[in-house]
A and B are shown apart, each in its own frame.
Chain A
Amino acid sequence: MSVSRANRIQLVLVMALLVVLHFYLRPRLWSARVSPDFLLIALVFFAMRAGPGAGALAGFVVGVVNDALTPAAFGAGALAHTVVGYLAAWGRAIFFADNLLVNAAFVAVALWVRDLLLLLASGTSRGRLLVELTLNSPLQALSTAVFALLVLAAFREWFAIRLDV
């Protein structure tokens, strides 16, 4: 088995684990608006290692899945996740993406931007928007970033991340 193929399989395994965690573990955790978003972690990790096109496509798929399961404004999730996937792929070229903390910060920023786009696209009122973006989204970004750090630390060989924090 070639090295690149082995890496792909490892990446797919981690993604599958994150998907299972998102739909099986997350509902058992505390408030849904604060608990880590495992699908977004999977999206950002994938986009940073794939490319803008694949990142946007993955974001679109994740967004459609979210829209189908939280059908407040169908299309808003797809739009927000597509943009986040695309920007995450571009961000890798701009920032030092092999650093552990940069990856975690990427996830946190991506979640906040996703929430901003999602709330704007779904026509949320100004008061609710402020509460979400200043209270819930930062808390969720923090918990998601912490979990992203754990995933990167646990699978650092698979993700080829240097631990020079």
Chain B
Amino acid sequence: MFLTCIGLSLVGLFSPSGWGQGIADTLRGTVLAPLVWLQARAEEGRTSRARLKAITVQRDSASYLAQGIPSLVAENERLRQLLTLSRRISTPYVAAEVLHQTQATDGRTLLLDVGRSDLVSEFDPVVAPEGLIGMVLSAGERSSVVMTWAHPEFRVSAYTVGGNASGVVAPSLSSMGGEGALEFRGVPYRDSVPGGTLVLSSGLGGVYPKGIPVGTVTGVVREQAGWERVYRLLPAANPGAVAHVLVLVSPSGTSMERAFPSDSALLAMRMDSIAEVRRTDSLEAAKVRRADSLAAAKARATAAAKARATAAAKVRQTDSLAVPKDSAR
């Protein structure tokens, strides 16, 4: 019995990964469906308290702001819209919950509670509000497995936000880099990328759409014979910390640059919105001033017309008195 079980385990371990994924999908969809359901309920229960707190805070903030200046309330709503990723994404997406995982290999793959019945399919990109998480490796009927950027087989074509360097991002496998880091490989030696530069997906390859933040450059890992530099990246999103993600279900040919604005772009949009509010306020004030000045001018004109009419009446009265005296003479 022991040897049979060991043999079956080894067959599962060394068989093509597709077989293992297929068996796992089948098990999750049939025998283990009640356990997956139980996990999903537990995950909801775990996050519901935090969500309730967040909603309470939002409600309190909203009631506080509702007592303030209406333009500030409107601006707050606009900023909230900017910060809500799902409202910014123009492509179809599916919101998914990350199910709890039990083994020590957490982080390389994630199990989501959405599958083919939710229109999720293989190679669909998975994003968090901070940036790229990975892609769907296999999709079952009601669950799917995500290959995160920590997986050894993860690759994404990327470019720097200034557009001066492009390459391929892969997980760092060296002991110095650590598993929690990414590497930006294939950057030509002549293209120097300063620390702090944001690296985005380029859209090449057809899996990940253009413009999703992948990470930030933190330094050079190695230089190879004067023709290539490899940079270390601090990943934009942490798969181990996410509880909810978005699966982009038909992202081909779309750009995500507008969905993930950089900090400076967000600041610029915020300044624009403030300027717009100020401009609106100043326009309102100008309208009031113009109405006041028009009313004053009208009053002055009316008074002048009345004075002119009075003077004319006096002149006519004087003339009528003078005419009978001349005729008597």
A67-B35 in contact given A25-B42, A27-B100, A60-B9 (Cβ < 8 Å): no
Contact: B43 with A27, CB < 8 Å?
A: yes
* Interface locus among B10-18, B215-223, B295-303: B10-18
Contact: A26 with B100, CB < 8 Å?
A: yes
Contact: B9 with A72, CB < 8 Å?
A: no
Q: Which A residues are CB-close (under 8 A) to B109?
A: 70-72
Which chain B residue has the least Cβ–Cβ distance from A67? B24
Size of A's binding interface in residues, CB under 8 A: 54
- Distance, CA A126 to CA B179, complexed state (A): 10
A76 at the binding interface (Cβ < 8 Å):
yes
- Per DSSP, chain A at the interface is helix
Name the contact of A71 in the complex, choosing from B11, B14, B35, B111 (C-beta under 8 A). Answer: B111
- Name the interface residues of A50-70: CB closer than 8 Å to any CB of B: 52-54, 56-57, 59-60, 63-70
- Name the interface residues of A39-89: CB closer than 8 Å to any CB of B: 39, 52-54, 56-57, 59-60, 63-79, 82-83, 86
Contact: B38 with A74, CB < 8 Å?
A: no
Contact: B2 with A86, CB < 8 Å?
A: yes
Name the contact of A27 in the complex, choosing from B17, B39, B178 (C-beta under 8 A). Answer: B39
Which chain A residue has the least Cβ–Cβ distance from B151? A72
Contact: A78 with B8, CB < 8 Å?
A: yes
Name the contact of A68 in the complex, choosing from B23, B45, B46 (C-beta under 8 A). Answer: B23
Which chain B residue has the least Cβ–Cβ distance from A136? B104
Contact: A70 with B106, CB < 8 Å?
A: yes
Name the contact of B175 in the complex, choosing from A19, A25, A122, A125 (C-beta under 8 A). Answer: A125
Query: 14 A–B contact pairs at CB < 8 A?
Result: A24-B41, A24-B42, A26-B100, A53-B2, A56-B2, A60-B9, A69-B111, A70-B101, A71-B24, A74-B23, A78-B8, A78-B9, A121-B13, A124-B104
Using a CB–CB distance below 8 Å, which chain B residues touch chain A? 1-2, 5-6, 8-15, 17, 19-21, 23-24, 27-28, 32, 35-36, 38-39, 41-43, 45-46, 99-106, 108-109, 111, 138, 145, 152, 173, 175, 178-179
Using a CB–CB distance below 8 Å, which chain A residues touch chain B? 19-20, 22-28, 32-33, 37, 39, 52-54, 56-57, 59-60, 63-79, 82-83, 86, 115, 118-119, 121-128, 132, 136-137
